[in-house]
Amino acid sequence: MYEEFYRQVHQDLEISVMESNTAALVAQHLRILDFELRNKWSGTLIIVFQPDEEETGGVQAMIDDDGLYTEVSVPDIMLGQHIVPSKSGTVSVRSGPVLVRFCQRQCHRVSVSGSQLTAMCRPHPVAMKIISQLEDEVRREVRLYEYVTVPTVREKVLHVVKGSIEDGCEGFSSLGAKHSIPDEDLDRCGNVIDAFWRTYELKAVSTTILYDYRATMAAHHVLLLGGSGKVSQLLTPMLLQRSWTVTSIIRNPDQIASLQKLGENQSGKLNVLVRSLEEVKSDEQAKNIIDEVRPDYVVWSAGAGGKGAPERTWAIDRDAACHFIRASVATPSISKFVMISFITSRLEKAPWWTDEMWKEEKEVRLKKLERYYQAKVAADQVLYEESKKRSDFAGICLRPALLTMEPVGKVTLGRTSVTNGTSSRASVAYLTALLLDNPKSKTCWLDMLDGDEDPEAAVKRCVDEGVDCIEGEPYYP
């Protein structure tokens, strides 16, 4: 999707180097593609700075002077093109840090050794080696997928060398093209790179690539509302294991220490934020929290649960939930919202249920939970109706039955034949993680019970078949 932009960069020498106006041009282009970048493209955003911008002050000046971060998302990885004597520090940019990471390489050339390669030899082979390793990692990750971006950076670097090396570039001419490059071409290009590397008499004594890259899974940021709940505490490590960031909203500051333990020894980052959802009285207040956290996914697993004064149930389960739903839909960078509801939170009988089943549910169980039921029904309806306003937004209502503390197990997901079964909290959490992780998830209701299907297979089936349990509701299309 960047083909047109890259063509312009390669043909216009004035914007082919990282000068003062380049960041603004990049920002302008990515602003146009922001919808694609944040909501459709699954990958990692990497920004590479030229030598003058590698130092912390240069990066900060580029951000401040050229407004890069007023237009585009904070990148997952920022790299310096050249090696410098020491690592750059942390650059604080508005709500979060930007890590400037480097590929560190100890090399020998003739009788000189060290890490400051710019003082030892031409930096181009070093840069090309870094680029080639990163690209090879990408190809290994996306081998099973239909589309892969083949950066033209390697092609241009290789074309600098004459003769046989130019021949080795065949098959690398299309950015964003279908992955049809034969393995022998990949191997051939790899051999060419190795040969080019050897011509500069450089031997890598030790190499550390400072990134954790998964081409098929973006590093998402999840806002978890109701982070101290049992389902949320089971969900949190599942998300962190994916190298995602989780910001957990809790009411009681006494719970901070225990929740922070969930983030220990995890590849993702856990933030714990103390806020009272009961005090969120408007869409604007909800939007303020969202703007502070800057997530791209939101999970609602909060609620008074029908306990306490009636006003508390209305304030949290209905009003605050609706405020966060509307604020999320109004935030273009947020593409998914998962609501943990319950299986019979609906106004009308599901067409696949019997009349007797629905009558018993309404007259016995729902009557005992009347306040909670009314609040959840209202929030579930708002989620569905608001989600339909955006084609690039998935509002998912996951609807378990009686919750238990059993471990993750097999499930029944979608249209269930009964309503009075059990649902493992761990399975609810795991299904939530799978639904967030699936790039094809759409707006839907999914009823859920303990059952006989593997969770992964159940999510794939429901997503692929477009299962939606909202059928029968008066506002269903």
Residue 71 has pLDDT above 50, yes or no: no
pLDDT of res. 25 = 54
Per-residue confidence band for 365, with pLDDT thresholds at 50, 70 and 90:
confident
CA angle 123, 128, 134 (to 5 degrees): 130
Name the pTM for this structure. 0.58
Which residue intervals of 241-282 are DSSP H helices? 256-260
End-to-end CA separation in angstroms for the chain:
34
Is the CATH code 3.40.50.720 the one for domain 221-465? yes
User: pLDDT class for 413, splitting at 50, 70, 90?
Assistant: very high
Percent of the chain scoring above 90 in pLDDT = 46
Q: Which residue has the higher pLDDT, 310 or 390?
A: 390
Q: What residue has token string 């569905």?
A: 384
Number of CB atoms found within 10 A of residue 354's CB: 12
For range 98-127, the mean pLDDT: 35
Identity of the highest mean pLDDT range in 118-122, 143-147, 184-188: 184-188
The number of beta carbons lying within 10 Å of the beta carbon of residue 269 is 15
Residue 2 has pLDDT above 60, yes or no: no
Rounded CA gap, 458 and 38, in Å?
Answer: 27
Q: How far apart are CA 107 and CA 115, in angstroms?
A: 7
Q: What does DSSP say about strands 104-109 and 221-225: parallel, antiparallel, or unpaired?
A: unpaired
Which one has a higher pLDDT value, 311 or 5?
A: 311
pLDDT band at 156 (very low <50, low <70, confident <90, very high): very low
Alpha-carbon gap, residue 469 to 414, rounded angstroms:
6
d(CA 428, CA 430): 5
Q: Which residue has the higher pLDDT, 205 or 55?
A: 55
R_g over Cα of the chain: 26
Report the pLDDT averaged over residues 244-269.
Answer: 93
- Please state the rounded mean pLDDT for residues 34-51: 46
pLDDT band at 61 (very low <50, low <70, confident <90, very high): low
Query: Do the strands 203-208 and 104-109 form a parallel or antiparallel pair, or are they unpaired?
Result: antiparallel
Residue 76 one-letter amino acid: D
Question: pLDDT higher for 184 or 222?
Answer: 222
The pair of structure tokens assigned to 320 is 């605050």
Query: Which helix (H) or strand (E) covers residue 15, if one does?
Result: none
DSSP for residue 92 = E
Q: Are 310 and 371 in contact (CB under 8 A)?
A: yes
Q: CB–CB of 273/251 below 8 Å?
A: no
Residue 24: pLDDT band by 50, 70, 90 thresholds? Answer: low
Rounded Cα distance, 57 and 257, in Å: 35
Mean pLDDT of the 323-327 span: 98
Token readout for 96 is 């979060």
What average pLDDT does this structure show over 286-309?
A: 90
Question: What's the mean pLDDT in 339-367?
Answer: 93
Q: Mean pLDDT across the stretch 362-374?
A: 87
Whether the predicted pLDDT of 334 surpasses 80: yes
**Which of 94, 57, 98 lies closest to 78 in space, CA to CA?**
98
Q: Tens of pLDDT along 77-112?
A: 444 433 232 233 333 333 223 322 223 333 333 333
Residue bearing the bigger pLDDT, 315 or 132: 315
pLDDT above 70: residue 461: yes
* Residue 164 reports pLDDT greater than 90: no
User: Listing from the earlier edge strand, what are the strands of the sheet with 203-208?
Assistant: 112-114, 104-109, 203-208
Average pLDDT rounded to a whole number, residues 120-147: 43
List the domain boundaries for the chain: 1-102, 103-218, 221-465
List of residues 6+ apart from 399 with CB closer than 8 A: 341, 342, 343, 345, 445, 446, 447, 448, 469
Strands 91-93 and 96-98: antiparallel
